[in-house]
Amino acid sequence: MSKVILHCDVNNFYASVECLYNPEIRNKPVAVCGSTENRHGIVLAKNYIAKKYGVRTGEATWEAKSKCPGLVTVSPNYKLYLKFSKEVYEICKYYTDRIESFGIDEYWMDVSESIVLFGNGLKIASEIRQKVKNELGVTVSIGVSYNKIFAKLGSDMKKPDAITVINQDNFKEKVWTLPVNNLLYVGSSTRKKLNSFAIYTIGDLANCPLKFLIKHLGKWGNTLWNFANGYDFTTVSKIDYVSTIKGIGNSLTTPRDLISNEDVKVLIYILSESIGERLRNHNLKGKTVQLSIKNTHLKSIDRQGKLNNYTYITSEIAQKAYEIFLSSWNWSENIRALGVRVTDLIVNGVYTQLSFFMDDNKREKLESIDFCVDRIRERFGHYSVCRGLILTDERLKADPAHDNIIFPVSYFRNS
């Protein structure tokens, strides 16, 4: 029996919530933008009035304002968005226990076993759409299909406040005529490459010889060809599914360019404080430290190195990251952004190889200190305790463990 998959997408989520809470801006062009002072000044979301002026998600705030001089810009309120996201999730949960998030404002739902109780996919989608509008004051677009890829395509085809059904009888008519970059994971570079082969629509991709795509795109050629033909058999996770954590990291675009080793050391410790805290909260230790560096021309490099032991000690993570930096950067360019990540994770308490060259008593004390600092910060705030090093430049202060921007989850996380 064919599956019944829904994809629910909240329309202009951040901007819709802001307009809901600020009635005076509802009839004006609105964009939710990152902090210009912290050099995060891009458009995160916009309402439909701003969209008519050509304002696009991801462009610089100054570009958006040049297109739309009367643009109202507001700062993001992630706690409020998370609250609304959970409310939408609760409405969806009434209909199925198979719900999988794709970012903060999108959900896949498998309602194949729910149609006996609630009716067909279109009826369920209609009820969800109406409940979200009536109970939360925002709108959703929903795609109804027999696989996840086409369900997402359907939610994108009609906006706002609409439902699109794509089934095995009409998908060639509805899907194959769309531009190829409408397909999930066909970005600008892949689109250009496909266009160079005279592949302009999803139908062109679907009818292209598979061997040709694999030759020029590798495994992605096979994946995209299957997507275009509707051969997507990926399941929707159950609501209690917890994916395996493969790495924990943070990155920051700095309020000013980093111009010295001392600047970098400050930011590495800020990032390592965040990563260490998150590792300890998850009771995980890691053995590989990865460092990413982006220069002022937005070109980046990635390097990594192994620790002697599995750890969640902040100072060990920071020292390794700084060691990697010193061996990787020659200061031909200043630095705009820095990222640290710890991988090769194991659960704390798993038996590991001991070393004759490590002072285990000292490491136990360092672990105890870190846990003590975590508890103090949990009660009194992140900067109730901080390293003297971080006080050398107040502009670089940040709390990446709790000030995260929420990005979409990988479609392939369950593969």
pTM (predicted TM-score): 0.73
Which token pair is 25?
A: 């801006």
Q: Are residues 259 and 341 in the same domain?
A: yes
Q: Are residues 22 and 71 in the same domain?
A: yes
Backbone torsions φ then ψ of 56, nearest 5 degrees: -120, 145
Listing DSSP states for 94-130 in one string gives: TT-S-EEESSSSEEEEE-TTTHHHH-SHHHHHHHHHH
Alpha-carbon span 51 to 64, nearest angstrom: 10
Name the more confident of 363 and 178. Answer: 178
Res. 234: pLDDT tops 60: yes
Residue 165 in any domain: the answer is yes
Q: Are residues 88 and 162 in the same domain?
A: yes
pLDDT attached to residue 194: 96
pLDDT attached to residue 363: 86
pLDDT attached to residue 386: 83
Res. 28: pLDDT tops 60: yes
Residue 239 in any domain: the answer is no
Residue 161 in any domain: the answer is yes
Res. 111: pLDDT tops 70: yes
Q: Are residues 98 and 186 in the same domain?
A: no
Residue 236 in any domain: the answer is no
Where residue 189 sits, what CATH number does that domain have? 1.10.150.20
Which token pair is 164?
A: 């699109």
pLDDT attached to residue 407: 47
Catalytic residue list: 106
Res. 404: pLDDT tops 60: no
Please report the sign of the dihedral spanned by the C-alpha atoms of residue 269, residue 348, residue 363, residue 381. Answer: positive
Q: Are residues 75 and 53 in the same domain?
A: yes
Res. 351: pLDDT tops 90: no
Q: Measured between alpha carbons, how far is residue 397 from residues 76, 93, 252, 394 in Å?
A: 19, 39, 11, 5
Beta strands in 155-239 (DSSP E): 163-165
| Type of residue numbered 17 | V
Res. 1: pLDDT tops 70: no
Lowest mean pLDDT of 77-81, 159-163, 187-191, 378-382, name the range: 378-382
Name the more confident of 53 and 392. Answer: 53
Q: What is the mean pLDDT of the chain?
A: 89
Q: Which of 27-41, 118-132, 286-300 has the highest mean pLDDT?
A: 118-132
Q: How many domains does the chain have?
A: 3
Res. 244: pLDDT tops 80: no
Q: Are residues 188 and 266 in the same domain?
A: no
Alpha-carbon span 235 to 158, nearest angstrom: 24
Q: Are residues 95 and 187 in the same domain?
A: no
How many helices (H) does the chain have, and how many strands (E)? Answer: 15, 13
Range of the domain at 217: 176-229
